[in-house]
Structure 1
Amino acid sequence: MRSIRDGDLLVQDIVMFQGPFQRLCEGLKTLGVLDQIRQHPDSFRPLFCYEPNTLTADQVEDLFSIHLSPEGSNKRAAEEMVITFWRDYLQDAEEEEGPSKLEKILAFTTGASVQFIHKGDDGFSTSMFPLANTCVNCIKLPLHVSYQLFKEKFDFALGNTYGFGRA
C-alpha cells in the first residue's frame, strides 16, 4: 500500500472478495503460514505491501536479453565491444545521475532485448543513435569504436526524445 487511501481500497476489496479472501486465509492456515505471518508480520511485509526501492544499473542490465551475431564473425567482435560500452554507460548513469537517469533509459527503451545496428541495417541515413522499438520491446545499439562517442550519442538520444522512438 502506498497511502491510507490504498488501505480503504483494500478494505473495500476484502468486503467485495470476502469469499476468496477467506479461502486464502484457510489455505495459509493449512500450510501453517498464517501463524508465521501473525508472529513475524515484518518478515512478510514485502510480500503484501509496496516498498519503493532504488533502481540500479545491474537491475536495468538484467532486464535485457542480448542477441549477438554468430561467434567468430566480424559483427560479433564489434557487438562484444559495444556491449561493454552499454554496461559502462549504465554504470555511469547510476553514478553520475542516479536512478533518475536509469529511469529515463527504461522509458526510452521499455525493453527486454538488446540488438545492434550495423551499417545499412536500419534503413535510415544514419546509424549513429540508439533506437528503441516499444512494440517489440527492443533497443538497438549503434556500433561505435569509442565509449566517449557511444555515450555522447546515447545522451543526445535520451535528451531529444520525448516519449517513444528515435532521436
Structure 2
Amino acid sequence: MMCGQKTSLDDFDVEVFMDEDIKQNIEKVSNCSTPEDLADLKSHLADWIAGCGIPDIYTATLLDVMRIRGEIVSHFAFHRVASMIQQFVAGMDSCGQFWQMVKRCWKQFLPVFTNAGNKLTRNSFQDLFTIGWSPAGSNRREEEEATIFQWEWWLMAIQEHEVDHTFEELLVFITGADLLPPLGFPQSCNIDFYDQEPGMRRIPYASTCSLSLYLPRGVANEDQFKDLMNDALKGSLGFGKV
C-alpha cells in the first residue's frame, strides 16, 4: 500500500468502540494535518500507536497519517479480537457445525446476534406482564383494578412523553436489563400488590431476580401514582430488590 493511499477504513465510525480513550486517540490521529500536529502526536501517542502494531509511527510523515489511522482501527476492530472470535466460532461449530448454519441463514439469526434496536412501546411492554390478581369480587381486587388503571395510564404517559421516564428505564428497574433478550425472558414478568400501612408511604419496588414489580393497592389518583413511580425509579440504587 502506498503512503497516503486511502483504505476502506477511512470512514469507519469509531463510535462503535466503547472505550473513550480509544475513540479520543483515533480522533487525534484523524485531526493530524500539520507538522506541528504530527510532532505533538509522536510526543504523546507514539508509544500507544506502536503498541497497536505500528512501530513506524516514530518515522512517519503526514502522508502516513491516514494509513496509520486505518491500521489503528483495524487493530481494535479485527486483530485484537481475532483470537476470541476464532474461539467463539470453534465453540459454535463443535455443536454440529452450528456456526456454518448461522452463516448460511444469517438473516434469520440476525436478531439473535445483533441489537435490532427495536424501541419498546406501551403494547409490547404491557405484553411482558402477568398480573397477580386477588379473587374477583373481593375488596382487594377492586383496589388492584384501581391501581392497574393508573398503571396503564402511566404507560400511556410514557409513550406520549408526558412524563420524564422511558420504557427502557422502567425495564431496568424491574429486570436489570435495558433491552429485551433476543429469545425473551425465561419467564413472564409479574405485577403483584401490597397494602399501604396506615400512616406510612411505601413506594413501589421490584425484584430483578423474579422479574416482579410490586405496586400498592388502591391508588386511584393520577398524580399520586405518578409521584410514587417517580420516587421509585429516581431513588432506586444497585442490583436486586429495591
Q: TM-score, normalised by structure 2?
A: 0.50
Distance 1:118 1:19, change over 3 A: closer
Partner residue in 2 for 1:90: 155
How many angstroms does 1:128 deviate by? 4.1
* 2:191 maps to 1:117: no
Q: Which residue in the other structure is 1:105 paired with?
A: 170
The match for 2:111 is 46
- The equivalences for 1:13-24 within 5 A come to 13-14=88-89, 16-17=90-91, 19-20=93-94, 23-24=97-98
1:71 corresponds in structure 2 to: 136
Letter in 1 for 2:98: L
One-letter code aligned to 1:73: S
Identity percentage over the alignment? 28
RMSD between superposed Cα atoms in Å: 3.5
Contact 1:107–1:163 under 8 Å retained in 2 = no
Bigger Rg over Cα: 2
Q: Distance in 2 between matches of 1:149 and 1:18?
A: 51
TM-score under structure 1 normalisation? 0.69
The structure showing larger relative contact order (alpha-carbon pairs under 8 Å, at least 6 residues apart) is 1
- Shift of residue 137, structure 1, vs aligned partner: 2.6
Paired residue secondary structure (1:52): coil
What is the distance in 2 between the residues matched to 1:127 and 1:135? 24
- Quote the residue 2:200 is aligned against: 126
> Structure 1 residue runs of 4+, over 6 Å off?
none
Most deviating of 68-77 and 43-52: 43-52
Tell me how many residue pairs correspond in the alignment: 151
Consecutive unaligned residues in structure 2, runs of 5 or more: 1-15, 18-76, 177-188
Residue 113 of structure 1 aligns with an amino acid whose one-letter code is N
